[in-house]
């Protein structure tokens, strides 16, 4: 089979990632718009369908160097179930040595015994969805776990031997002030995580929080406070040795192997690297085609049981779409946009079409521009979406 990613910057045949969507949760959080169901009775049928989807990729041409169990709540699966899925993947795909295998953990579902099991199953990186270390905030977010559960999960994971742990936190909650957020960050640092993801609470369409905000039941922080929270996060974590390598992601540096703890899997999404998504609602990208599975575990199981592909739809990215996404995704990252690569692919857009907006943004201190890179400064990151709109509006 031909290489799917001949345009990848570094390699003729870049390794791909695999994302597995585990579509179950004990309870839906009111801010979340990821697909999941609380009907756990379908778990066994889902795993059998997932096996068959994995089998259908037998002979996939690219080597795999990252696997990511996301969801939903992957920690609703036992270590034995995780092991059986990984064994199936190792049977059908070419797995690179030193592969990163990440699993998302909901602190309300993982017991100490399970962490040992997950390590034995082959998981070598955890992303623990703590969200906050304060019960009041966890209650507001509708989480099933307490602050104590979060601490117990972090300690158990370390004790089990995990040496690469990420913590997910959410900020910008209703009534949250700077001090309250600082307390969460301080507490997170006590556990010396290798990685931190700090997401500003967003109000996605079709979620209960979206409705509540629209009806005035939730008041998000105003522009001024949001800006302060964002800037504080970057400054505070940088001062404590965490490099902001993407707008919401921070990795601890290692004095010998710099930034070893970035999420290798998530970086694929920001750099147009190839990935395969398995499970309901999972997205895949094999240049230049993006395709995604049906967003229903029922439909997913039925399709696979009838020998039909679970793919719901696909799109072939046009040059214009790729250019827009290159700007949008590139400016989210610490490295910014690689201008040589960008112009090789899309022509002299930066020097011709973007020169006036870039000059203005540079004067305001929102971005830095060299012969080789265009990247946002920390204050520019705060206005990432607006800056991208401005540049995209100037596109030829």
CB neighbours of residue 394 within 10 Å: 15
Residue 185 binds to ligand SF4 (criterion: CB under 6 A):
no
Which range of residues in 21-29, 200-208, 295-303, 337-345 is near ligand SF4 by CB under 6 A? 21-29
The correct pick among 66, 106, 134, 249 for binding ligand SF4 (CB under 6 A) is 106
Whether omega for the bond prior to residue 288 falls within 30 degrees of 0, making it cis, is yes
Nearest distance in Å: CB 369, ligand SF4: 38
Binding test (CB under 6 A) with ligand SF4, winner from 17, 23, 72, 280: 72
Pick the stretch among 5-13, 26-34, 93-101, 229-237 that binds ligand SF4 (CB under 6 A).
Answer: 26-34
The residues, any chain, with a CB within 8 Å of residue 256's CB and separated by 6 or more, are none
Residue 106 CB, nearest distance to ligand SF4 (Å)? 5
- Binding segment for ligand SF4 (CB under 6 A), chosen from 65-73, 117-125, 186-194, 223-231, is 65-73
71 interacts with ligand SF4 by CB under 6 A:
yes
Place of tokens 């979206």: 210
- Other CB atoms closer than 10 Å to residue 58's CB: what's the count? 9
Q: Is position 388 an interface residue for ligand SF4 (rule: CB under 6 A)?
A: no
Residue 32 as a binder of ligand SF4 (CB under 6 A): the answer is: yes
- Whichever of 36 and 176 has its CB closer to ligand SF4, that residue is 36
**CA atoms of 81 and 198, how far apart (whole Å):** 30
Residue given tokens 């996301």 in the structure block: 70
The helix/strand/coil state of 334 is coil
Please, which residue, 36 or 263, has the CB nearer to ligand SF4?
36
Length of the chain: 396
Q: Rounded distance, CA 342 to CA 358, Å?
A: 15
- For the beta carbon of residue 169, count every other beta carbon within 10 angstroms: 21
Instruction: Tell me which stretch binds ligand SF4 (CB under 6 A): 69-77, 95-103, 341-349, 371-379.
Output: 69-77
**For residue 341, cis peptide bond before it (omega within 30 degrees of 0):** no
Segment (H or E) for 276: strand 275-278
Determine if 28 is a binding residue for ligand SF4 (CB under 6 A).
yes
110 and 150 Cβ atoms separated by less than 8 Å:
no
Q: Does 128 bind ligand SF4 (CB under 6 A)?
A: no
Ramachandran quadrant class, 383 (left: phi over 0; alpha: psi -120 to 50; beta: rest):
alpha
Closer to ligand SF4 by Cβ: residue 22 or 369 = 22
Options 14, 16, 22, 25; binder of ligand SF4; rule CB under 6 A: 25
Cβ at position 73, least distance to ligand SF4 in Å: 5
Candidate segments 68-76, 81-89, 322-330, 365-373, binder of ligand SF4 by CB under 6 A: 68-76
How is the beta sheet containing 367-369 ordered, strand by strand? 337-338, 373-376, 367-369
Query: CB of residue 165 vs ligand SF4: minimum separation in angstroms?
Result: 17
Positions in the binding site for ligand SF4 (CB under 6 A): 25, 28-29, 32, 34, 36, 71-73, 106, 129
């Amino acid at each position: 089979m031909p290489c799917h990613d001949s345009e990848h910057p570094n390699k003729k045949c870049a390794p791909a990632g695999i994302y597995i969507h585990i579509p179950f949760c004990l309870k839906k959080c009111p801010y979340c718009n990821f697909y999941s169901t609380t009907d756990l009775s379908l778990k066994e049928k889902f795993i059998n369908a997932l096996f068959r989807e994995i089998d259908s990729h037998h002979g996939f041409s690219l080597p795999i160097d990252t696997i990511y169990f996301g969801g939903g709540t992957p920690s609703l699966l036992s270590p034995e179930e995780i092991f059986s899925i990984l064994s199936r993947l190792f049977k059908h795909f070419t797995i690179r040595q030193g592969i990163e295998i990440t699993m998302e953990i909901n602190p309300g579902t993982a017991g100490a015994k399970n962490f040992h099991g997950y390590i034995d199953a082959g998981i070598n990186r955890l992303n623990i969805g703590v969200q906050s270390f304060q019960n009041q905030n966890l209650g507001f977010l509708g989480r099933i776990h307490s602050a104590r559960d979060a601490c117990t999960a972090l300690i158990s994971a370390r004790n089990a031997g995990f040496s690469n742990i990420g913590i997910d936190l959410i900020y910008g909650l209703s009534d949250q002030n700077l001090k309250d957020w600082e307390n969460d960050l301080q507490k997170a640092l006590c556990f010396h995580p290798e990685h931190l993801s700090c997401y500003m609470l967003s109000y996605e369409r079709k979620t209960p929080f979206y409705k509540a905000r629209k009806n005035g039941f939730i008041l998000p922080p105003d522009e001024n406070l949001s800006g302060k929270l964002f800037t504080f996060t970057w400054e505070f974590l940088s001062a404590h040795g965490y490099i902001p390598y993407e707008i919401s992601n921070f990795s601890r540096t290692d004095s010998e192997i710099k930034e070893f703890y970035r999420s290798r899997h998530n970086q694929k999404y920001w750099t147009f690297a190839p990935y395969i998504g398995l499970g309901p609602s999972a997205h895949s990208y094999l240049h230049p085609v993006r395709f995604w599975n049906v967003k229903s575990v029922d439909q997913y199981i039925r399709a696979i049981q009838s020998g039909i592909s679970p793919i719901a739809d696909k799109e072939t990215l046009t040059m214009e779409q790729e250019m827009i996404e290159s700007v949008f995704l590139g400016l989210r990252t610490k490295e910014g946009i690689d201008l040589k690569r960008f112009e090789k692919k899309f022509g002299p857009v930066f020097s011709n079409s973007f020169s006036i907006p870039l000059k203005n943004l540079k004067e305001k201190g929102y971005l830095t521009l060299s012969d080789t890179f265009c990247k946002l400064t920390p204050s520019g990151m705060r206005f990432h979406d607006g800056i991208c709109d401005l540049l995209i509006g100037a596109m030829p």
